[in-house]
Amino acid sequence: MTSVLYLTCNGLLEPLGQSQIIAYLRGLSGDYAITLYTHEKPEDLADNAALERARVDCMHYGIRWEMRRFRRKPKLIASAMRLLAMFLFALREVRAGRVGLIHTRSYLPAAVAWAVWRLRGTPFIFDMRALWPEELITAGRLRRGSLLHRVIAMIERLCLRDAAAVVSLTHAAVAYLRTVYPAELSSQEIAVIPTCADLDRFSPPPDGPPVGPMVHGCIGTLLSGWFRIDWLTAWIATVAECDPAARFSIISRDHPARIRTALDPQGLLGDRLEIGSRRPEEMPDAVRQHHLSVMFYAGGAVSELGRSPTRLAEVLGTGLPVVANEGVGDVARIVRDNRVGVVLDDPSPEAVRRALDELKALMADSDLSARCRRTAEELFSLEVGTVAYDRLYRRIFGTEGT
């Protein structure tokens, strides 16, 4: 059986690890011997039940899980030590003949795999996910032209050029990259595999939408610098004025008090605004309690061309429409082309009211829920994503058609 080493700086115990890492690897584990290398945060390791479930899950699918503790301080030294440990592990596995392909999630693991490729010739997949350098600049965590920015840009260029295959989340990002790196990508294969969801878990409620006041939901991080929390605040304020019965449900691991201060600075919403976190296994039922889901990102920046929000796939999978903004990967095009929500032009009260009128007409369509689900199955199903990864693996291993 051909062997794959999957490198990620994320944790298997994080929601992303469950929805975007192990979910794919389960489907690939029948044909490949997979070793998964992760960094787990202390707060996630403290959940003994979740830790045991992850271990049992990996054992059941024959996935070898190599877990390392994520250390935060001192920041730069801790980051360097994590990468060094990842490199030494990958190099040792390659030298022992246990790795035929390295699959890397995002830039830093790709840099590790590139170094191993230079030393040993082991092919690697640069699963870039999004345009990370541009995301850091948009979030104010990196200055364009700085030494660190130049280093990350060099990693991007080398990995795009030398990877056995590149994976992007969006067509918009591919078009951008081909203008920036025409020579490096002249003969490079780039597969577009958007963020997928486990649609067996994220499915429509069997009894239809919940009865009662309209619940405007929002899931995921809001305080990362990549989410337009000012737009969400404007949306909530206008909706609350137009519909006194409306309720708002925020499901996030961010600090609840900080979110409430940002969204309801005057404290006018009271218990109409609910904020809290959920365990990964609780998320499908939590989303099914909403009537629609709101997602606004820092659209318009180059960074957003590569974004494919996990929440879009999960929300559509449950049959819910979305409210989104322009300039975020392929999101606006998907929403419009498939008529599965509305696109907000700007956060002004007038624009929000127009969007609410459009949303009201859309939600009167009896086929809306089925159309949302159908769109999720066609674009974001775990099966579609797994088949796409398997196709890449087979091409690299030279086993296509077998």
Q: Is the pLDDT of residue 148 over 80?
A: yes
Q: Is the pLDDT of residue 136 over 90?
A: no
pLDDT in tens, 346-369: 999 999 999 999 999 999 999 999
Mean pLDDT for 280-291 is 94
pLDDT band at 73 (very low <50, low <70, confident <90, very high): confident
Q: What is the pLDDT of residue 402?
A: 64
pLDDT in tens, 224-283: 777 899 999 999 999 999 999 999 999 999 999 999 999 999 999 999 999 999 988 899
Per cent of the chain over pLDDT 90 is 81
* More confident call, 195 vs 55: 55
- Judge contact between 287 and 293, C-beta under 8 A: yes
Q: What does the domain layout of the chain look like in residue ranges?
A: 3-196+382-397, 215-379
Q: Is the pLDDT of residue 339 over 80?
A: yes
Q: What is the pLDDT of residue 226?
A: 75
Q: What is the pLDDT of residue 4?
A: 98
Q: What is the pLDDT of residue 281?
A: 87
User: Which residues make Cβ contacts (< 8 Å) with residue 63, sequence separation at least 6?
Assistant: 22, 25, 26, 29, 34, 35, 36, 57
Q: What is the pLDDT of residue 318?
A: 96
Which superfamily is assigned to 3-196+382-397 in CATH? Glycogen Phosphorylase B; (3.40.50.2000)
Q: CA torsion angle for 91, 177, 334, 262 (degrees, to 10)?
A: 80
d(CA 39, CA 257): 28
Q: What is the pLDDT of residue 303?
A: 81
Q: What is the pLDDT of residue 16?
A: 84
pLDDT band at 304 (very low <50, low <70, confident <90, very high): confident
Task: Judge if 3-196+382-397 and 215-379 fold alike in CATH terms.
Answer: yes
Q: What is the pLDDT of residue 59?
A: 97
Q: Which of 247, 236, 249 is nearest to 276 (CA)?
A: 249
Helices (H), 39-146: 42-45, 48-60, 75-95, 107-120, 132-138
Per cent of the chain over pLDDT 70 is 99
- Mean of the per-residue pLDDT values for the chain? 93
Q: What is the pLDDT of residue 300?
A: 67
pLDDT in tens, 153-168: 999 999 999 999 999 9
Q: Which amino acid is at 313?
A: A
Q: CA torsion angle for 289, 292, 293, 294 (degrees, to 10)?
A: -140
Mean pLDDT for 22-44 is 95
DSSP string, 172-228: HHHHHHHHH-TTTTTT--EEE----B-TTTS---TT-SPSSS-EEEEES-SSSSSB-
Q: Is the pLDDT of residue 177 over 90?
A: yes
| Lowest mean pLDDT, pick from 56-60, 73-77, 285-289, 390-394 | 73-77
pLDDT in tens, 375-400: 999 999 989 999 999 999 999 999 87
Q: Is the pLDDT of residue 401 over 80?
A: no
Q: Is the pLDDT of residue 326 over 70?
A: yes
Which superfamily is assigned to 215-379 in CATH? Glycogen Phosphorylase B; (3.40.50.2000)
d(CA 299, CA 217): 20
Q: What is the pLDDT of residue 197?
A: 83
What distances in angstroms separate CA 157 from CA 179, 180, 322, 330, 387, one per listed residue?
13, 9, 35, 23, 27
Q: What is the pLDDT of residue 299?
A: 64
